[in-house]
Amino acid sequence: MKILITGGTNGIGKGVAKILAGLDDPKNEIIILCRSEKLGKETIKEFKRTTSNTKISMVLCDLTKLSDVKSAIEEVQSKHKFLDGIFINAGIGYAAKRVETGDGMDSHFQVNYLSQFMLTLGLLNLLEKSENGGRVIFNVTTVKDKIFWDDIQMRNNWSFEKGIHQAMVAKRMFLNKLHNLYQEKKDSRLSFIGFEISETVWSNQVNIIPYFMKTMATLMKWLGQFISVEKCGEIMAPLFIENQKDSLNKSGKIITWKKNDFIVIKEKKDVLNQTLQDKLWEHSIRLCKDEKTSKIAENLCN
Ligand SMILES: NC(=O)c1ccc[n+]([C@@H]2O[C@H](COP(=O)([O-])OP(=O)(O)OC[C@H]3O[C@@H](n4cnc5c(N)ncnc54)[C@H](OP(=O)(O)O)[C@@H]3O)[C@@H](O)[C@H]2O)c1
C-alpha cells in the first residue's frame, strides 16, 4: 500500500506513519507531507532504522501556503502513478492568538481544512488508479457542528478552540460531499472515512501548550488518560490496509474505536445538510483561486 500522510513528523500522523512503515509487508510505502525538511529527514532516518522499510519519502509543504500545496500536488503527480490512501491529519492545535496566513485566511481554517481540501482534490486521480480501492481517512472530532458562515476567517470572534472545531466540521462536510459524489459514479472504488480517536493522544501539542495546561496534561498522563502516538497508529492502521469492501462499507461515515472494534458515530444534521455542504464546497473552491482545482471540482460535480 502506498499512503501519503499529512503531518507525519509529529503526533498522530507520525504514529500512523510509523506503524504502517513497520508492518511486515515490503510493499508498504509511506510518503510524509511535512513543513520542515529537517524534521522530515530525521523522521525518515528514524523509520528506516527502526522498521527496516526503505520505501519512505517526503514532500515538503507548508499548509499555510496554497502555493506550496500546488507544488506538492505537482511533485506527487510527477513521482507517483497511483496512491492507495491519504491521511488528512496535519493540524494546528493550541495557539495564543489568531494568525492570518499570507493567503489572508485564519491559519486554523487554512492548515487544518482548506489546504488539505485542495490537496485531496488534486490527488483524487491517483487514488482512482489504486488497485486496492483508494481511500482518504480524515482525522476528525465531532464535538461541534457549526460553520461560522458570517465570519469563516474568524476575524471578529476568534479562539483557538473555535478554530479547531470549525475546521473539523468543514472536514466532515467535505468528506461527506466527496462520498456522495463518488456514490453517484458508476463502479466507484473510493472511500472517504472520518476517524475520531476516543482517547486523548500524547502528541507534540504538549510541547506547545502553556505551562499550566502542560501541568494538567502531565497529571492526566499519570492517571492513564493519554495514549501514545504509536498506540493510536496501531488502532488506525487497519483503516489504511483493510480490503476495498470493508473500506467502502465505512465510506461517508465517522467511526471510532471502542471495546476493540470500529463503531459508527451518528453524524450531526447540519453536517449532512447537502445545501450547506454545497455552500462550503463553492466557498472553498473560490478560496483556492486555482484553475486546476476548480476544473477537478467541476468535473466531479458533472
Ligand atoms: N492529540 C489528540 O488527542 C487529538 C485528538 C483528536 C484530534 N486531534 C487532531 O489531530 C490532528 C493532529 O494533532 P496532534 O495531536 O497529532 O498534534 P501535533 O503533534 O502537533 O501534530 C500536528 C502535525 O501537523 C503538522 N503541521 C502543523 N502545521 C503545519 C503546516 N503549516 N504545514 C504542514 N504541516 C503542519 C505538524 O508539523 P510539525 O511536525 O512540523 O510540527 C505535525 O506534524 C489535529 O488536527 C488535532 O486537532 C488530536
Q: Is the pLDDT of residue 25 over 80?
A: no
By most ligand atoms within 8 Å of CB, the mutation choice from 42, 201, 228 for ligand 1 is: 201
Tens-digit pLDDT profile for residues 39-58:
999 999 999 999 888 899 99
CATH architecture assignment, domain 2-288: 3-Layer(aba) Sandwich (3.40)
- Give 91 Cα–ligand 1 centroid separation in angstroms: 4
2-6: strand order across its sheet: 56-60, 29-34, 2-6, 85-88, 135-139, 191-196, 254-258, 261-265
Mean pLDDT of 127-155: 96
Residue 23's pLDDT band (cuts 50, 70, 90) = confident
Span from the CA of 156 to the centroid of ligand 1 (angstroms): 25
**Which residue among 6, 10, 60 has the greatest number of ligand 1 atoms within 8 angstroms of its CB, and so is best to mutate?**
10
- The pLDDT of residue 98: 98
Q: Which residues pair with 34 in a beta bridge?
A: 60
From the alpha carbon of 140, which atom of ligand 1 is closest? Answer: 7
Taking residues 2-31, what's their average pLDDT?
A: 92
pLDDT of residue 65: 98
Supply the pTM of this predicted model.
0.98
Residues touching ligand 1 (Cβ under 6 Å) are 7, 9-13, 34-36, 39, 62-64, 89-93, 111-112, 139, 141, 164, 197, 200-201, 203-205
Residue extents of the structural domains in the chain: 2-288
Average pLDDT over residues 108-120: 98
Residue with CA at minimum distance from ligand 1 atom 31? 63
Q: What percent of the chain has pLDDT over 90?
A: 94
246-262: pLDDT as tens digits = 999 999 999 999 999 99
pLDDT digits (tens, 9 = 90+) for 212-227: 999 999 999 999 999 9
Give percent above pLDDT 70 in the chain: 99
Q: Whose CA is nearest to atom 15 of ligand 1?
A: 203
CA of 108 to the centre of ligand 1 (A): 11
Helix (H), strand (E), coil (C) string for the chain: CEEEEECCCCHHHHHHHHHHHHCCCCCCEEEEEECCHHHHHHHHHHHHHHHCCCCEEEEECCCCCHHHHHHHHHHHHHHCCCCCEEEECCCCCCCCCCCECCCCCEHHHHHHHHHHHHHHHHHHHHHHCCCCCCEEEEECCCCCCCCCHHHCCCCCCCCHHHHHHHHHHHHHHHHHHHHHHHHHCCCCCCEEEEEECCCEECCHHHHCCCHHHHHHHHHHHHCCCEECHHHHHHHHHHHHHCCHHHHHHHCCCEEEEECCEEEEECCCHHHHCHHHHHHHHHHHHHHHCCHHHHHHHHHHHC
Span 231-241, pLDDT tens digits: 999 999 999 99
